[in-house]
Amino acid sequence: MTAQYGFLIDNSKCIGCHACSTACKSENEVPLGVYRTWVKTTETGRYPDTQRHFQVTRCNHCSDPPCVRICPTSSMYQRPDGIVEFDKDACIGCKACMQACPYDAIYLDPETHTAAKCHYCSHRTDIGLEPACVVVCPEHAIVSGDLNDPGSEISRLVAKHPVTVRKPEQGTRPKLFYIEGSKVNLVPTETARTPPTFAHADVLSLGGGVQVGPAQIGGTRAEHMAQVGYNAQHRVPWHWPVPAYLVTKGIGSGILGLLATAWLLGAPFSSSVAIVGTLLGLVMLGVTTGLLVLDLEQPQRFLYILTRPNWRSWLTRGAVFLIGLSAVAGAWFATEAGAALGLLPDTFAAATRTPLMLLTVPLAVGSAVYTAFLFGQAEGRDLWQSPLLPGHLAIQATTMGGAALLLMDAAMDLPAALTTLAQVAFGAGLLADAFVTLLGEVGMRHASDVAVRAARSMRSGRYARWFWGGGVVLGHLVPLTLLATGNVAAAAVGAVAAIAGLYCYEHAFVMAPQEIPNS
């Protein structure tokens, strides 16, 4: 039987000396400020009845690791012996693995600008040595070994003691077990403080300019005080380029999808409309690609998504949708422009329209909604695990496509059929989006405390102004009011407001879940 390596931490022995952390740093040359192994420390109770809890925290080497599925280049991969390893030379720095990890175990190396984490000291394991943290622990509180070997020490201890794991509800099947695991350490939100601060620190930077402090001490259900004494390494991996890309992708896929649908439904329009519409769609898809590359820590490796793809990753699949839609839209633009300039016969342009439209519609839908499945693979962010999200993104793309057509109508006077389509898509899309947003994504009852906290941050916390002022008022009420006037110029202004409002909403939706700690 193939070996399956795991860790067991005996919290009844751990003295919180941090020897494992320093040994890990020394053995693996881990830079300052990031950690592969760290000791989370929490203090509970009221003087004189207090207690200090230690927890050695690291990668869980899950049996079903979400970081492996989401990685677009297989930089994160699982060995046959169960060790979840990484290849820094294949990493493009997309940070998707950090979003997928429910345990905050992955960090971005500040020197290599690639993802890294505990890899079970695989260079030692491969030659029969134990990981450095196991060797250095003075209390033998860390045990490593083959869980498939019933005679191994780790197997005997797991069988003998009641053990716990972190976040078993995630379904990752962790292979990091704790004896006498403390709930205040195992459950990141148990101390009832958002965001967390440390007992001996006034300010904690979460990245992206986000700072909190001084420490806020909250009570547990037992009315005891609970304060984190030490922890690492929560970060906010994705910033403004991601919500911006959601908007530009919605505009590009939306206008191309609507124009193709209009043609297939028998609403003819001039070649000038097709040229401007496809050009606008191509520009937005180009900006989308630019934003995705901008957000990479290794942008020069962007083509690795295509040259060494992991087809299970929705980043890879999404890239194929975007490239496919751009290629078909480019062909459509070229044929229409070529016919208009006399470089191609009109018969050729007419003969290619319907086949191109038949290709455009599914590619536009795929480009619009693939991010929902990418967010679904980001299992560390519970608010994104919504079955409503694919439909929500399709509605947003339809709305943005209608907004783009209304802007074109103000500039070049579209045919009546297209104007009507734009108004219906925009107005109905706004109403449907408001319904899904208010009663679905944010308003519904969520399955986990982490998702509840993220939704609360959007509704009444840090991102409430982005959500209500930007997403609801600017993004829905203002555009619907202006559209109702029936004035072309007013509708165009409403379209701009809706685009800005969508960015505000996406900013809140992307940022709020990232600030909830997973460790």
Q: Report pLDDT digits (tens) over 172-197.
A: 999 999 999 988 889 888 764 434 55
Query: pLDDT tens digit string along 463-516?
Result: 999 999 999 999 999 999 999 999 999 999 999 999 999 999 999 999 999 999
Which residues lie across from 219 on neighbouring strands?
225
pLDDT over 90 (residue 116): yes
Structure-token match 């102004």, residue found: 465
Quote the CA–CA distance of 98 and 91 in Å, as a whole number: 12
Per-residue pLDDT, 179: 96
Whether the predicted pLDDT of 24 surpasses 90 = yes
414, 430, 505 from 422: Cα distances, Å: 10, 12, 22
**Which residue type occupies 426?**
F
Assess contact for 224 and 46: CB atoms under 8 A.
yes
Do the first three CATH levels of 5-230 and 241-514 match, i.e. the same topology?
no
**Domain spans, the chain:** 5-230, 241-514
DSSP code per residue over 462-517: TTHIIIIIIIIIIIIIHHHHHHHT--HHHHHHHHHHHHHHHHHHHHHHHHHHHTS-
Could you give the percent of the chain with pLDDT greater than 90?
Answer: 79
If we measure between CA atoms, which residue out of 468, 461, 438 comes closest to residue 478? 468
List the single range of 51-60, 86-95, 266-275, 489-498 with lowest mean pLDDT. 266-275
State the pLDDT at residue 194.
Answer: 39
- Cα 80 off chain centre by: 27
Strands 142-146 and 5-10: antiparallel
- pLDDT at residue 227 is higher than 80: no
- pLDDT digit string (tens) for 89-112? 999 999 999 999 999 999 999 999
The burial of 230, by beta-carbon neighbours within 10 Å (0-12 exposed, 13-18 middle, 19 or more buried), is given as: middle
What letter does residue 343 receive in the DSSP assignment? S
Which tokens belong to 451? 């998702």
Within 8 A by CB and 6+ apart from 187, the residues are none
Query: What homologous superfamily does CATH list for 241-514?
Result: Formate dehydrogenase/DMSO reductase domain (1.20.1630.10)
Read off the tokens for 469: 């002022």
- In the chain, what is the greatest distance between 2 CA atoms, to the nearest angstrom? 90
Question: Apex CA 280: angle with CA 261 and CA 251, to 5°?
Answer: 65
The token pair at 258 is 């609507």
- Helices in 175-270 by DSSP H: which ranges? 183-186, 241-264
The confidence score (pLDDT) of residue 438 equals 86
Q: What is the pTM of this model?
A: 0.92
- At 139, list the tokens: 């209390």
How far the first Cα of the chain sits from its last, in Å, is: 33
pLDDT computed for residue 275 by the predictor: 95
In this model, does residue 208 exceed pLDDT 60? no
Q: What is the mean pLDDT of the chain?
A: 91
Proportion of the chain above pLDDT 70, given as a percent: 93
Q: Count the Cβ atoms, other than its own, within 10 Å of residue 27.
A: 18
- Amino acid type, 372: A
Q: Six-digit token pair at 471?
A: 């997403």
Residue of 448 and 215 predicted with greater confidence: 448
Task: Give the 3-state secondary structure of residue 53.
Answer: strand
Residues β-bridged to residue 452: none
Q: What is the CATH topology of the domain spanning 5-230?
A: Alpha-Beta Plaits (3.30.70)
The verdict on whether omega for the bond into residue 48 sits within 30 degrees of 0, i.e. cis, is yes
CB 297 within 8 A of CB 111: no
Q: What is the pLDDT of residues 386-440, one digit of tens each?
A: 999 999 999 999 999 999 999 999 999 899 999 999 999 999 999 999 999 888 7
Sign of CA dihedral 421, 326, 273, 265: negative
Between 339 and 497, the more confident residue is: 497
CA 318 → CA 199, 300, 390, 421, distances in Å? 43, 19, 13, 27
pLDDT attached to residue 191: 67
Name the least confident of 72-76, 229-233, 304-308: 229-233
